[in-house]
Amino acid sequence: MPATAVLLIACPDQRGLVAAIADFLLLHNANIQHADQHQDAELKLFLMRVEWELEGFDLDLAEFPPAFQPIAGRFGMAWRLAESARKPRMAVLVSRFDHCLADLLYRYQSGELHCELPLVLSNHEDTRWLADAYHVPYQHLAVHRDARQEAEQTQLAILRDLDIDFLVLARYMQVLSADFIRHFPQRIINIHHSFLPAFHGAKPYHRAFERGVKLIGATAHYVTETLDDGPIIEQDVARISHRDSLDDLIHKGADLEKVVLSRAVKWHLDNRVLVYANKTVVFD
């Protein structure tokens, strides 16, 4: 695939936005591959993703910010630029459940996930065998109830040393502190085994079973300081019936969880997710 650049933009909706962006790229000989936009009528916001080939583009990406700033300033844009050739460095945090980790490792090895994976970090030893099978470094760090802060400081030091760009919580059964989350704003993806906002918190399948629900779901979202309340990236559901036991719900839910999480991770890596107002636009 040709090397590309991706520009994500959010700003107040106003006339002339698309023309200004397109004219700027044309001025520098860009060949646009994809362009997608969305207007949030309620918030009066304009959101856009545009991707173009770097071959023939006559502006060095290091010089892009000062060159684009006059347009960004005129329209009040919040924006970021990404380059497809760069592979973000991902770390996976996991506890004892292995299904989401197994799916991520397979997709990583097959090349579906455009990233580097220098670390699987766990508070248990249960999934080491799985990381070993894919030749991915695995580190065990116990998290004790009375020493959570110390454990998080150690985790952050490990992640800094490895220059990690973003984290994936693959059924990591620990609540991260606000201080930890602050180091990775909109760069921690969690899978919750429920169709949020229903049944947030612990044991959602048990509560769904007790309520006799007819649909169960899974939700991938960015982690914020408020538990299970971050911007949602992807969701999916499966139909169940009165014949399904609690174990059936858990098994069917596990299938949803791994697929929903992997989709969210891939879209994040492809720079298709734009966060605003505690929700997201996922561009095609």
The Cα–Cα gap between 115 and 86 comes to 8
The Cα–Cα gap between 151 and 144 comes to 8
Closest C-alpha among 46, 50, 129, 44 to residue 94 = 129
Q: How many CB atoms lie within 10 A of CB 232?
A: 19
* Residues composing the chain: 284
Which residue out of 13, 126, 146, 228 is catalytically annotated? 228
Tell me whether residue 165 is one of the annotated catalytic residues: no
List, by residue number, the catalytic residues: 228
